[in-house]
Amino acid sequence: MEVQWDSSFKSTTPSDDEIDFNKEAKRIADLDMPQAVVTKLVNNVLCGSSIEEDAKLAVIRSTTQFISHLTSSANKIAKNKNHKNIQPDDVFKAIEECEFDEFLPKLKDELNAYVEIKRAAKAKQNEEENVTGGPPSSSIVTDLPSDSGVKVEIIQNGNTSI
């Protein structure tokens, strides 16, 4: 009996130069924004209206694509400046290049507000460290026998007790 090879048959496993679209689709889906976050954002915008699950999925996939495109554009801008890290100005320039200029004033205001909040928190932490003589500390309470040979030193508000 002679076996004939069917030339139209194609292997189901991709070769090195082919893309396995099933794996690629799973990787892209792994990068999607968390559904809870998107739902919260959408509900804030809709003010009581509802959104179908398919529409929610479309929003999730669109945000993933938008973030990927924006990050890629900002990365190219950073690389053209010989920077290894993407800076806020690179993102703003990418937003301009993507023709979303109308969002820039609000985005810059939000970034400035965030930076100010972080600055205030850092200043408060530094102030607390200056008052107490160091970073906030915690205490560990243990029941050690007095003859255990372990010396415990407690520093509280700059005062030392043994």
Determine contact, residues 63/33, Cβ cutoff 8 Å.
yes
Distance, CA of 107 to CA of 91 (rounded, Å): 10
Determine contact, residues 74/81, Cβ cutoff 8 Å.
no
Distance, CA of 162 to CA of 10 (rounded, Å): 79
Mean pLDDT rounded to a whole number for the chain: 77
Least confident of 18-27, 100-109, 111-120: 18-27
The 3-state DSSP class for residue 46 equals helix
104-120 mean pLDDT:
94
Distance, CA of 79 to CA of 123 (rounded, Å): 33
60-105 pLDDT tens trace: 888 888 888 999 999 999 999 999 999 999 999 999 999 999 999 9
Distance, CA of 89 to CA of 107 (rounded, Å): 11
Task: Give the pLDDT of residue 162.
Answer: 56
Helix and strand totals (H; E) in the chain: 5, 2
Distance, CA of 60 to CA of 58 (rounded, Å): 5
- Is the whole model's pTM more than 0.85, yes or no? no
Distance, CA of 115 to CA of 123 (rounded, Å): 12
